[in-house]
Amino acid sequence: MSASSTKLAAHASPRALDSTAPGRTAQTRSDWSAWLLPGFAFACWALAIRHLSAEWTFNEQYHFGWLVPLLAAYLIKVRFESLPERNPPPTAQPANIAMLLLALASILIMPIREANLDWRLVEWALVPVAIAASLVCFWQLGGLPWVRHFSFPLLFFLIAVPLPRNLEYPWMDRLMLTNAHASVEILHWLGVDAQARGNLIQLPTCTLGVEEACSGIRSLQSTLMLSLFLGEILNLRWPRRLILLGAGLGWALITNIGRTTVLAWLASRDGLAAVDRWHDIAGFSVLALSSLTVAGTAWLLHRSSGRNARPVAAPSIDLSGLVSRFRPSSAIAGISILTLIAGLGLTRLWFDFHARSLTKVADWEFRLPTDQPLFREVPIAPQTQKTLQYNEGYSGLWKDPSGSQWQAYYFRWEAGKNNSQAARPHDPRSCLGGMGMELSAVLPSVNFAKGDVAISFDAFHFLDRGRDLYVFNCLAEDVRSEHDSRKLRQTNSPAERIAAALAGSRQTGQRRVEVAVWGAADATTAADSFRKLLNQQIHLASQPAVD
């Protein structure tokens, strides 16, 4: 009987496996489809990080952004160690509606992003969509208690999203001015003769400029990130987190002023060559010192609170039970993912289709008047080169026969190069104002046309230590036309940016020309002389150079 039973079991085993196979296959498929909801959230994050990656790579102020996704993921892991009670699973309908709306928002943002790689409002649209998609997942897992519980780690990611430029640059200008004036006061205490003129520090041997990279904004952002992270890891109460945040920002300001003071002291003693040798070392030292002081402050606040950082033992998590809560929304999640993929494909087709009808009607450049008396080429500072990341750029000084002194800058960025975003905020009002020059008037624009090229220059009147200074500036995209008549965006206003997306116009190459003249009799004389200069020095691609 034992042998018969064995034979029966041996013969029954294949039939038993066959009978259970369909059920197991259905269960496997069901488990697989349940992951479509977090898959949709992951796709939203991929779109957001894809756009942010250029800013994190090329903008020195936001290199730390590459670290933030890892820190945010770790904070989510930490939050899983102290989970609140779960509410009953919500109905799938609200989550389905939310996913469809988020997918629709994403595909509306895609063409705007494609046409405006440098528009930071795109980043502030994509990241909230990704955060909202993640909150939908936690809502399905544990209801509103879980949404509240995991909100901080998700919102922590916003620290890596660059501020809109109209908010960031006024703060940066203020930091540069504060840094320069505070450093000059300390230098006086050290017996060094120094004067602050805007964001410049005038020393007996040279003039030191406090530029964007030295403003302290990178230290402020890094300490803000570290303060928020340590406050969460150490489980500090919110009053103590605010104290830590304030202390971190204070330490960042103090250490950065110390850095500028030391560099200025070295420059007064050994010249600008000493600044070049110690600039990067001082920057990394300030970052390390501010990080250590923030960590020490966080440790003291945690020690004095007498509060444990986190529960020692993490609760066990039934992964299969959690994943099962995604299953009612899996169908709509799959549709939402397909919607994102279709949006990417249609956006590519839209711009490729319009690219065939857009041609470059003119190529031009501004050449320096090397034949003018006392002309000399002015090297562009390495820090400026690193910031602007241009493909071509040069600068020069000269005097015209009337005795007026001129200075000109010319920069060019190739089509599709995302680094051109760094050039736009650097208009004369911010740059020259930071150097201590006073804006007297905004003058009428100077329009120039030559062949197929038509350029509009902004004009300004400054006072440079009592001298009249007239500045003319333009930032123009390469002219592209559909029928040799319709010019695309020139000012990059929000309306023009959206119109560019509707017209299927990708961001073309950019050129900046900035010319300043001292000694002109009045604004009209300066504008007339500037037009003559443009007529001589702007050359079309087909036009040979004139020696």
Q: Is the pLDDT of residue 204 over 90?
A: no
Residue 345: predicted pLDDT: 94
Q: Establish if 76 belongs to a structural domain.
A: yes
Asked whether residue 288 falls in the same domain as residue 414, the answer is no
Residue 543: predicted pLDDT: 47
Length of the chain, in residues: 547
Asked whether residue 266 falls in the same domain as residue 175, the answer is yes
Q: Is the pLDDT of residue 392 over 80?
A: yes
Q: Establish if 321 belongs to a structural domain.
A: no
Asked whether residue 467 falls in the same domain as residue 402, the answer is yes
Q: Establish if 436 belongs to a structural domain.
A: yes
Beta bridge partners, 200, equal 197, 209
Q: Establish if 260 belongs to a structural domain.
A: yes
Q: Which two tokens stand for residue 398?
A: 């000269």
3-state secondary structure of 119: coil
Give the torsion sign (CA, 342, 344, 349, 350).
positive
Residue 325: predicted pLDDT: 81
- Higher-confidence position of 306 and 245: 245
In this structure, how many other beta carbons lie within 10 angstroms of the beta carbon of residue 400?
Answer: 18
108-117 average pLDDT score: 90
> Given pLDDT bands bounded at 50, 70 and 90, which one contains residue 20?
very low
Q: Distance between CA atoms of 239 and 251, rounded to whole angstroms?
A: 18
Over the chain, what is the mean pLDDT? Answer: 80
Domain that holds residue 451: 362-540
Instruction: Put residue 446 in one of left, alpha, beta given phi > 0 → left and psi -120 to 50 → alpha.
Output: beta
Asked whether residue 414 falls in the same domain as residue 530, the answer is yes
Residue 196: predicted pLDDT: 81
Backbone angles phi, psi at 367, to 5 degrees: -110, 140
Which run of H or E residues covers position 483? none
Q: Is the pLDDT of residue 140 over 60?
A: yes
Asked whether residue 154 falls in the same domain as residue 207, the answer is no
Asked whether residue 505 falls in the same domain as residue 385, the answer is yes
Q: Establish if 312 belongs to a structural domain.
A: no
Residue 488: predicted pLDDT: 45
Residue 310: predicted pLDDT: 53
Asked whether residue 80 falls in the same domain as residue 42, the answer is yes
pTM of the model: 0.76
pLDDT tens digit string along 238-269?
899 999 999 988 888 888 888 888 888 888 88
Q: For residues 380, 383, 385 and 387, what is the CA-based torsion angle, rounded to 10 degrees?
A: -140
Q: Establish if 7 belongs to a structural domain.
A: no
Encode 152-174 in three state secondary structure: HHHHHHHHHCCCCHHHHHHHHHH
Q: Is the pLDDT of residue 60 over 90?
A: no
Q: Which two tokens stand for residue 229?
A: 């992270």
Rg over CA atoms, the chain: 30
Instruction: Put residue 451 in one of left, alpha, beta given phi > 0 → left and psi -120 to 50 → alpha.
Output: left
Alpha-carbon distances, residue 135 vs 144, 147, 208, 538 (angstroms):
9, 6, 49, 55
Q: Establish if 6 belongs to a structural domain.
A: no
Domain tally for the chain? 3
Q: Is the pLDDT of residue 217 over 60?
A: yes
> Given pLDDT bands bounded at 50, 70 and 90, which one contains residue 318?
low
Residue 306: predicted pLDDT: 66
Q: Is the pLDDT of residue 363 over 60?
A: yes
Residue 178: predicted pLDDT: 83
- Higher-confidence position of 357 and 65: 65
Residue 487: predicted pLDDT: 46
Residue 359: predicted pLDDT: 57
pLDDT tens digit string along 458-474?
999 998 878 899 999 98
Using a pLDDT cut of 90, give the percent of the chain over it: 33
pLDDT tens digit string along 509-541?
788 899 999 989 899 999 999 999 999 999 887
Asked whether residue 332 falls in the same domain as residue 444, the answer is no
Q: Which of 272, 305, 338 is the last residue of a domain?
A: 305
Q: Distance between CA atoms of 102 and 108, rounded to whole angstroms?
A: 10
